[in-house]
Amino acid sequence: MKKVVFLLTLIPALGSLFVINRVEPYVLGLPFVLFWAICWVGLTSMFLIIANKLDPANKEEEEL
């Protein structure tokens, strides 16, 4: 599960731009490619926080 969440965070860095490289449609006034990148800022954050919740390493540390 943790790995799945992690793989999702790789989408914006690796390759999705080949498909997304376009100006139209404008979203919130932003060209689509910029909007897409901004979305991933939020999504990366979310996925990392979820991964952190699922991370067994946190429990280990509390026990130490």
Partner 1 sequence: MNAALLVILFFLGLCIWLGLQARKGKEMNMEQWSVGGRGFGSLLMFFLLAGEMFTTYTFLGASGGAYRSGMPPALYAFNCFYFVIAYWLLPPVWKYAKENKVLSQSDFYEKKYNSQALGILVAIISVVAVIPYLVMQLKGLGIIVSEASYGSISPHMAIVVAVIAVTIYVTVSGMHGAAWTAIIKDILILAVMVFMGFYFPFHYYGGIGPMFEAIDTAKTGFLLFPEQGLSISWFVSATIMTALAFYMFPHMMAGIFSAKSGKSLRINAGIMPIYQVIIVFSLIIGFSGVLQVPDLNGPDTDLALFKMAKLSFDPWFVGVIGAAGAMAALIPSSLVLTAVSTILSKNIYKAWKPNTTDQELAKLAKRFVPVIALVTLFFTFNGGESILTLYLMSYSFMVQLFPALFFSLWKRNPVTVQGAFAGMIVGSIIVIYSTITEMSLATLFPSFPNVIKDLDLGLAVLIINIAVTLGVSVVTKKSAARVDDDTTISNLV
Which residues in this chain contact partner 1 in the complex, by CB under 8 A?
A: 6, 9-10, 12-15, 17-18, 21-23, 26, 28-31, 33-34, 37-38, 40-42, 44-45, 48-49, 51-52, 55, 57-58, 61
In angstroms, the CA 42 to CA 3 distance is: 19
Smallest distance, partner 1 to C-beta of residue 11, A: 10
C-alpha atoms less than 13 angstroms from C-alpha of 60 in its C-beta half-sphere: 5
33 and 22 Cβ atoms separated by less than 8 Å = yes
Q: Which is nearer to partner 1, 1 or 28 (CB)?
A: 28
